[in-house]
Structure formats: C-alpha cells, structure tokens
Amino acid sequence: MAQRDNLYRRSSGIYVVRIAVPARYRLYTGQREIHASTETNDIRKARAIAALLLAVWQRCLGEYQKLDREKLVSSAPALAGEGMISLAEFCGLTSASLQQVAQCLLDTNIPLFWLADGRPAYYVEDLSLVDKDDPEVSGFIIDSAINIGIRGSLIGYVQPLVSSRILRQMIAGEPLDAETAFKSSEASSKAAWFVDFPGVEISPNSLMIHRVQAERLRLFWLSHSTAVSPVMPEKPKAIPPVLLPSSIPDNEYVNRKYYSVKMSELCEKYIRYKRGGKFTEKAENRVREGFGLLLEVMGDSTLEKVDRDFLRKYESLLRSIPARRDLAKIRYKINDAHELIGKAKENGDPLMSDNAVRKYMRILFEAFQWADGEGIFIKSPANKFFAPVENEKMDQDFKSDFTDEDLNAIFGMPWYKRGTVDKNSQGQFHHYRAFHYWLPLIGFFTGARINELCQLYLDDIKQDATGFYFFEISNERVDQSLKTINSRRKIPLHPTLLKLGLIRYCEALKKAGHERLFPELPYHSVKGYGDKASDWFNRSLLKERLGFEKDSKKSFHSFRHTFSTRLKQAGIDSETRAQFVGHIRGSGETENRYSKDHPPAALYAVLESVTLGLPEVAPFVCEDGVDAVADALRIKQINQQRR
C-alpha cells in the first residue's frame, strides 16, 4: 500500500484520505479514523481533494467550538443515568441544532431508535426474500413483506432499517418520510419487521438515542469548546503535515486512560463482571488458569504493552513450552517458564499442541472482547488472530458413536444380565452401585450429558397431565448446572426404562428418605456430580474392564452421539433432535423465538417410532439398588471419619 502524507492508495489504485481522530476523543466519537475516498488515482488531484476534505474537517471542529459551553456543562445532569432521550429534548438541553446532531449521529454510527407502540407488524426472517423497489432507500415492496411475513406486534425500542436516510433528511432540512421497515432485535440477523402503509410517522420528538450516547456527544463537544470561542478560518491556508502522525497514540488498541492497568488487574475486573451472571467455580478457574499462564510467560504487563505483536510473541512462546509443563518443572526442578522452554528445546521434549495453544489464547480473547465493550480497549487486538482451521474430518468425526459390538459389551455386564450382582460375604455391596445400571441406560435412551443425569433429583422425574413421565433437565437448584440455556428441556422416559423399573426404583428411594436419583454420587464444587461417574465409566469400565483403547474417542458422551445419529437415521427433523439433546432449536429467529418445544407426549411418540437397538437387559432389582446406595454412603462416612 503506497502512502504519502495523509493519503494512501487502495489496491484498485484509488487514493483515500485518512483523518486520525485524536485518542482522547475516540471514546466520544466512536471512530479511530475517518477514511474518505478521493475517487481518483491521480496523486495531484487526490492531494487537492484531500485539502478540501481536511478543510471540511477543520470547519466541523470549528462548529463544535461554537457551541454554548455553559449550556453543555449545565446539561450534564439531564443526560446522566439510563434510558433514552429524544433528539428534540437533546437539542434543547445542549442548544445544538438538529442538523448538527444528525451529522454527528451519521458520522459516529450511533444507533437511532423509535419506541414502538404495539402496532401490528410483519416479521420477515430473510430480507433477501422481500421484493425491492429501491433498496438504497430501503425501498422494499411492503405487500411482498406482508405476504411472506409472520404477523405480530412491534413493541419496545426498535431501530429503523436504514437510519442513514432519516439522518440525511434531517441534515438537508427535509420533511421526514414515514418509516415502514425496522431492524430485528438480533443485530447480526438478516431479519426485519415491516409496518403496513401509511407507515410510522417519525419526528425529532419520537426518535431516540441512548442517554449514554448523548453524554458521549456532549463530552465531545465540551472538550472542543473553550470559554471564549476561537475564530476559525473559513479555509486553512495549508494542510498541517503532522496532523495525522501527531494524533496517533503509541498503542492503537488500548484506551490511553487504561494504559497503566496490569493484566492481573484486568483478570480480576473480568472475573468480577462474570460473577454478575451464573459464573461457576469451574469457569472462574479456567479464566485464572489462562491469565496465570500469561503472567508466568510474559510477566504482569501493563495494557500499554498489549497489542498484536505482544500476542504474537506470547503465542510463539506457548508453542515452545513442554506439553506437560507441570511434570517438566518437577523433572527439571525448574519453575521459571523461560528456563523451562530452553530445557525442553535442549532435550527435544514434546511441545504444547496447537489445540492447547488456541485454548489458552481464547481465554484471553474472551476477556479482551469484554474489555472492548467496556471501553478499556479501542478495539480488541485479538480480532481474527487465528486463521481458520480446515479440518480433514467433519465435526461429528471427532467423537465416535458406539457400535452394536460396543453396546453388546457395555450392556453385557453382569448387572445387566440379572438386574443386580451378588453381595459379598458380609452381605454388602462393596463395588456395585445403582448408577452402574441406570446411568448408561438413561444416557442411551436420552442422549443427555452425564452431569445432567448425575445431578437429577427425584422430583425432576415428573408426570404430565396426560400421564407421560419425563426428565426435567434444568439448573433450578444451586448444585445443578447446564452447559447453555438451550440445555433446559423435558425428555420423555423411554418405555423400556419404565419396563426395567426406573419409576419403581424412584419410589423405593423416596421411601428410604433420599432426594436425589443417584445419592451415592458425591458433589464436586467444580465438576458437579458427574466427576466420579465419568471416571468409573470412561476409565474403569471402558478402558480397564472392556479393553477399549487408551486413545479411543469413545466415552459416555458417545451415547449422546449414538442417540442423535439414530434419530437422524430414522428421519427425525433437526429441530426435534435439537430439543432431545439440548441444542439451539433452529438457525433462525422464527424457530428460536416463536416456536415452542414439543410436549413430552409428542417426543414420546417420536421415541416409540425409533428403533434404538438396545441389547436384552434384565429388570432392575430395586431392593438391591437401595441397599447398594446405603452401602456406598456408609463407606463414604467411614472414609471421612478416618480422615
């Protein structure tokens, strides 16, 4: 890219003038730089046009300085707080003209809103399906939108589909056209709402901006005003040759206000923010681990040093760290990360994998994304950091389904042949547990995650008004957690589970005074109730007893893949499959927002229609199951007393 003075040339050969917004104003303007095409590939013409554009910029600053400073100062209390303010009220508070406000909104991309009053409107999921008259002015044919749209009500604050057209009409002093198209609430969606003719009458009194954005504009103007407004020349005599270089800060990613903040402080700020939601101990430990490794390798740097080069250096060092660094520290008796890197290179140790490097980096990137939204970063230095990885295999190939041979081996264990096992010479169950029988079966018939099943309470197994039993997967209790909000769902009990005695066993547990389906499983503050069960199934059963290979891609999670695959093979639609396994119910807003989950009775009919192929299993012996729970809890108590 050729660059001279304030100009640079695009690959097309056209010159573009770049105006750098001083760092102290970026938080208020919403832009770091202004780029304007000269529409020419002739450098002499481009320089002449650049001079004119810079003169416009200078005059714009002059207009800002002509604002009434006292009015700007006195309007601060009215702009404090949350909520919206109309353009008319904002102009009255600041003495700014409507044209000036509109120009600033257009320049800074500040969103414009209209308060919808519940009037009828039509939701269209994909704008490309609507016939167009003049797309440049949002010229969609309303009849077309109505024909394909879903009728609903437009409620709350909504954005006009093409706000720039409204703002340009304000700048030109023209009457505002009625508005008929509004953006969907999902910012990245192609969807929109349409109002039938004659549309919505809009005005400066009904158009709103957020008070936070209004305060940004006020502060920007205030920072450019002085007690005595200077007289700006109508046209600058010359273009200051150092205008752009002098405005560019040392770090283009970080707001100068936060230069002195350390990475450890950023970590704590981020964790405090995350604790405002449902932030588990496991998730917090993950964040601390990610930042901890950064501090270990790069030191507790201030944000002033954090840029793209900083992250590239860190990535390079991560790729030089031993794959199992904790063991390497013990083996070499070294704690310093850089000494450890040298030792690993010297001895040719296996190094951290690409997946591990990306995992640690993405922990930071998530925090940087938050910091960007908080104004700590001007923009995240992590944007598009990693090139997309083209995998040789599709996503589903990374986890294996169980084969029929695998299922025969798993459900051929002794407790499945008799519904129980023999007690020892003391009349007790020393190793056998009730979850050994039920967890794999329920996983096979539901496709649920292991922790979702291990944390079930007895009252999470419910019966609807029509008599169908179902599992309620939720995080209603403090010791229950879900992977995502889409994991909340109701899964019917397969008729085979009823036949094998699951409801009878639940009644027996209640009679024995238990509240949970698997009371023998202990709770782990980070891993939940699934920790011991995962270890038993994946290591003790699959690897040690059944001889699955150590690097096998098969685990309890394979029940989930097997279940989903067999539903798909039976022709069950993707939205229904997603409800069974707790994924997002569809790709569009229609499915996700307006479609309700199928009731358990409907899903029960789906289960009955699908052949899942369970080997023959004996009914569960409930009395022995309750005894096995009692023995497990007794052993747990003895072990605690010994400690």
- CA 636 to mean position of chain CA atoms: 40
Which is more confident, 228 or 146? 146
The radius of gyration of the chain from alpha carbons, rounded to an integer in Å, stands at: 32
pLDDT (0 to 100) of residue 571? 84
220 or 4: which carries more pLDDT confidence? 220
Please state, in angstroms and rounded to a whole number, the distance separating the CA atoms of residues 168 and 172.
Answer: 6
Every domain of the chain and the residues it spans: 3-65, 71-224, 256-374, 397-642
Handedness of CA 535, 537, 541, 547 (dihedral sign): negative
**Spatial separation of the C-alpha atoms in residues 65 and 619, rounded to whole Å:** 84
Distance CA 122, CA 111 (A): 22
Please compute, for residue 483, the number of CA atoms within 13 A of its CA located in the half-sphere on the CB side.
13
Question: Is the bond preceding 615 in cis, omega lying within 30 degrees of 0?
Answer: no
Does residue 588 have a pLDDT over 60?
no
pLDDT at 491 exceeding the cut of 80: yes
Q: What is the mean pLDDT of residues 608-634?
A: 91
Confidence at residue 60, expressed as pLDDT on a 0 to 100 scale = 56
Q: What does the H/E/C string look like for 412-440? A: CCHHHHHCCCCCCCCCCCCCCCHHHHHHH
User: The tokens 């760290």 sit on which residue?
Assistant: 321
DSSP annotation of 232:
P
Q: What is the mean pLDDT of residues 552-576?
A: 86
Pick the closest to residue 147 from 124, 164, 175 (CA basis): 124
**Is 540 a residue whose pLDDT tops 80?**
yes
Give the model's pLDDT for residue 136: 41
Cβ burial 560-569 (10 Å sphere, 16+ → b, else e): bbbbbebbee
Centre a 10 Å sphere on the Cβ of residue 117 and count the other Cβ atoms it contains: 11
**DSSP code for 149:** S
Q: Which pLDDT does position 142 carry in this prediction?
A: 77
Classify residue 216 by its DSSP letter: H
Rounded-to-integer distance, Cα 385 and Cα 544, Å: 42
- Which secondary structure element, helix H or strand E, spans residue 508, and what is its range? helix 502-511
The pLDDT of residue 534 is: 92
Task: State mean pLDDT over 517-525.
Answer: 90
Integer Cα distance of 531 and 437 in angstroms: 17
Highest mean predicted confidence (pLDDT) among 320-329, 393-402, 403-412, 609-618: 403-412
Q: Are 442 and 448 in contact (CB under 8 A)?
A: yes
H or E element in which residue 236 lies: none
Does residue 334 contact residue 343 with C-beta atoms inside 8 Å?
yes
Check residue 246 and report its DSSP letter. G
pLDDT tier at 72, thresholds 50, 70, 90: low
Q: How crowded is residue 144: how many other Cβ atoms within 10 Å of its Cβ? A: 16
What does the pLDDT read at residue 52? 73
In the prediction, which pLDDT does 393 show? 42
d(CA 108, CA 102): 10
Higher pLDDT, 226 or 630: 630
Task: Please give the model's pTM, rounded to 2 decimal places.
Answer: 0.47
At 134 the pLDDT is 47
Residue 136 DSSP label: G
pLDDT band of 249, cuts 50, 70, 90: very low
In this structure, of 350-359, 596-605, 608-617, the range with the lowest mean pLDDT score is: 596-605
Residue 477 burial (CB count, 10 A): 10
Rounded Cα distance, 48 and 196, in Å: 48
Q: Is the pLDDT of residue 526 over 90?
A: no
The C-alpha atoms of residue 500 and residue 275 are separated, in whole angstroms, by: 43
With a cut of 70, say whether residue 463 has pLDDT above it.
yes
Taking residues 307-314, report their average pLDDT. 92
Residue 287 has pLDDT above 60, yes or no: yes
Of 354-363, 364-373, 449-458, give the range with the top mean pLDDT: 449-458
Which pair of tokens denotes residue 505? 């066993």
* pLDDT tens per residue, range 177-195: 888 888 876 544 678 888 8
Which one, of 562, 579, 557, 563, lies nearest residue 488 by Cα? 579
The answer to whether residue 244 scores a pLDDT higher than 60 is no
Could you tell me if 425 and 477 are in contact, meaning their C-beta atoms sit under 8 angstroms apart? no
Query: Would you say residue 500 has pLDDT above 90?
Result: yes
Q: Over range 446-450, report the average pLDDT.
A: 92
- CA 506 – CA 511 distance, rounded (Å): 9
What tokens were used for 565?
Answer: 């695959």
What residue type is assigned to position 518 of the chain? Answer: F
Cβ neighbours for 189, distance < 8 A, ≥ 6 positions apart:
125, 589
Distance CA 255, CA 514 (A): 56
What's the pLDDT at 83? 67
Helix H segments across 275-389? 281-298, 308-318, 325-332, 337-347, 354-374
Q: What is the largest CA-CA distance in the chain?
A: 104
Residues 6+ apart with CB under 8 A from 94: 67, 68, 71, 72, 75, 217, 218, 221
Parallel/antiparallel/unpaired status of strands 84-86 and 461-463: unpaired
Position 375 scores a pLDDT of 85
Where is pLDDT greater, at 593 or 82?
Answer: 82
More confident site: 476 or 361: 361
Residue 374's pLDDT band, with cuts at 50, 70 and 90, is confident
> How high is the pLDDT of residue 388?
66
pLDDT of residue 416: 95
Q: Taking residues 439-460, report their average pLDDT.
A: 94
Per the prediction, the chain carries an average pLDDT of 80
Residue 448 near residue 491 (C-beta atoms within 8 A): yes
Residue 390 vs residue 233, higher pLDDT? 390
pLDDT at position 444 is 94
Question: Is residue 386 within 8 Å of 400, Cβ to Cβ?
Answer: no
> Which of these ranges, 58-62, 95-99, 302-306, has the smallest mean pLDDT?
58-62
- At 96 the pLDDT is 82
Q: Domain spanning 397-642: which CATH class is it, in words?
A: mainly alpha
Angle CA 25–252–363, to nearest 5: 115
Q: Please name which of 322, 98, 76, 318 lies closest in space to residue 218, comparing C-alpha atoms.
A: 76
Strand boundaries in 244-311, DSSP class E: none
Backbone angles phi, psi at 282, to 5 degrees: -65, -45
Backbone angles phi and psi of 528, in degrees to 5: 75, -155
pLDDT band at 591 (very low <50, low <70, confident <90, very high): very low
pLDDT higher than threshold 80 for residue 231: no
| Cβ atoms 559, 443 nearer than 8 A | yes
Contact (Cβ atoms closer than 8 angstroms) between residue 340 and residue 367: no
Which residues, 6+ apart, have CB-to-CB distance to 234 below 8 Å? 59
State which amino acid sits at residue 578. Answer: A
Q: Can you tell me the mean pLDDT for 580-600?
A: 59
φ, ψ at 150 (rounded to 5°): -105, 125
Residue 147 pLDDT exceeds 70: yes
Q: Rounded distance, CA 107 to CA 152, Å?
A: 34
One-letter amino acid of 278: K
Around Cβ 55, how many Cβ atoms within 10 Å? Answer: 15
